[in-house]
Structure 1
Amino acid sequence: MLARPWLPGVELFHADFSGQPFGRHSHDAFAVGAILQGVGGYQCRGVRHALPAGTLSLMNPEEPHTGHAESERLVYRMLYVEESRLPALLGRKRLPTGFRELNPTDDGAVAAGLARLAEAFERADALTLESELLDVLERVFVRHGGLRPAAPAPRDGGVTRILRDYLENHHAEAVSLECLAGLVQRHPRHLIEAFRRAYGVPPHTYLLQRRVREAKRLLLDGQPPLEVALALGFYDQAHFSGTFKRFTGVTPGQFRHAARA
């Protein structure tokens, strides 16, 4: 189970098991899951359900159900979000009415979002984690939970320039969506949308690009990759190396070697 103290009421669970049944129970949170491998099964609302890989598993708070694996091995990822947290996370006056269909098929977008969210949880990057969480919640509740699509964000009003300047000047620090939202007095959903329109990428991607740009300069100055990773706020050297390669096509070590050649 993955959770962060600065993100209360939100947990991510990755299960990989076979043969372990779960008796009748309920959760005090919305559950959003994706079957990654095998076939899951449960009984709810008087119906027995089988969930093959590629199916979503959705559950409303306090809805009794059982759970078991219908295949030799079952792998799934499940996000739990307490209902009381939705107003702050979604920034809506009208909240989701609840999931109508419990195991809809998915085009892969929600499952991919959960995978990105899991990666962000592992690396404890606040800005990326909060951004991916908001994306998953918007996507799944609009598609399956009765949430209306978001209204267009207000006019820019100079907020994206303020955000960009802040990210430029604080690129080595831990930055959160709450911090950025407070800076410009906009809900995170609105500021992400406005920033993407202005610069082509969301704030967390812009921040990573800025860190990689600075990393190049430090590597060319002869600093070791580990020192660069720690100086620029990366979780560890593996996180730094993966991010650097994502934006440049080479690892930090390969970049240093090529620069010296």
Structure 2
Amino acid sequence: MATPRSASGVTDGNRLLARPWLPGVELFHADFSGQPFGRHSHDAFAIGAILHGVGGYQCRGARHALPAGTLSLMNPQEPHTGHAESPRLIYRMLYIEEARLPALLGRKRLPRGFRQLNPTDDGAVAAGLAQLAGDFQHGDALGLESRLLQLLELVFTRHGGLRPMQTARRDGGTVAALRDYLEQHYSEAVSLQALAEQLQRHPRHLIEAFRRAYGVPPHTWLLQRRIREAKRRLLDGETLAELALGLGFYDQAHFSGTFRRFTGVTPGQFRATARA
């Protein structure tokens, strides 16, 4: 599923992101100039958004130009080329192996595939890809898996012929069990797939049923729980580095950014004000 490389062009900004516990899923962040991609195909669905510049490729017997704000949707084994039609091109592309889709989407049948290669984006797909890129690099398993399922549902219902999933039924016992598990294991790396297997529900059902019961998805509830604990430990004098490690954050910057997102202040500001 690797993207072809060329000896020409500037590619220092390119990054191919993957996690070993999420097989068949890769996210390519492209930032290059002057790098052509020869005719090739992927053994995966490709879901991309142009962020800056103009991309171009040949596919289905035609030449396509993709300005910023355009999506690039490709079916598995669909031959195409690729190049930049501007001095600099930035885009994000998510690759999902076809065999992984039924389990990820919770559907027995695959979507029929993308008919339109380059639909205009209303911003939702690009935003979803940006969040995924951040989760691949700095996020936790629960957040990454949750956002991945949300993005796949969005793209394939809008552009891949997938019927919207019915609203999750109320499942009080299951979501309460999930909440209790998160309460007890808030500092650990929590996997949505492992939780789904433990509770015998599809991950998508867990997310929607939990959101319906508590107003937020499980990964948001988990972060809120961590921040609540962080406040207590800050007042007890723990350092930011100790907190980041002990509460399951990627690093100190990730902890500080999450704390500020939920409280409006940095951990240092909270501690200083509380002790004043």
Map 1:1-261 onto structure 2 (within 5 A). 1-261=16-276
Identity across aligned pairs (percent)?
80
What runs of 5+ residues in structure 1 fail to find an aligned partner?
Answer: none
Q: Which runs of 4+ in 1 moved over 4 A?
A: none
Count residues in correspondence. 261
Partner of 2:170, secondary structure, is: coil
CA–CA distance in 2 between the matches of 1:62 and 1:162?
42
What is the CA-CA distance between 1:18 and the residue it aligns to?
Answer: 1.1
**1:11–1:79 CA contact under 8 A, matched in 2:** yes
Normalising by structure 1, we get a TM-score of 0.98
What is the CA-CA distance between 1:124 and the residue it aligns to?
Answer: 4.5
What is the CA-CA distance between 1:154 and the residue it aligns to?
Answer: 3.1
Deviations 1:10-60 (A, max 9, x none): 000001111111111101100000000000000101111000000000100
What letter corresponds to residue 29 of structure 1 in structure 2?
A
Deviations 1:185-229 (A, max 9, x none): 110111100000111100000000000000000000111111011
Partner of 2:249, secondary structure, is: coil
Partner of 2:248, secondary structure, is: coil
What runs of 5+ residues in structure 2 fail to find an aligned partner?
Answer: 1-15
Normalising by structure 2, we get a TM-score of 0.93
What is the CA-CA distance between 1:240 and the residue it aligns to?
Answer: 0.2
**2:139–2:249 CA contact under 8 A, matched in 1:** no
CA–CA distance in 2 between the matches of 1:144 and 1:255?
45
CA–CA distance in 2 between the matches of 1:17 and 1:235?
28
**2:54–2:86 CA contact under 8 A, matched in 1:** yes
Instruction: Tell me what 2:10 maps to.
Output: none
Superposed CA RMSD in Å reads 0.8
CA–CA distance in 2 between the matches of 1:107 and 1:94?
27
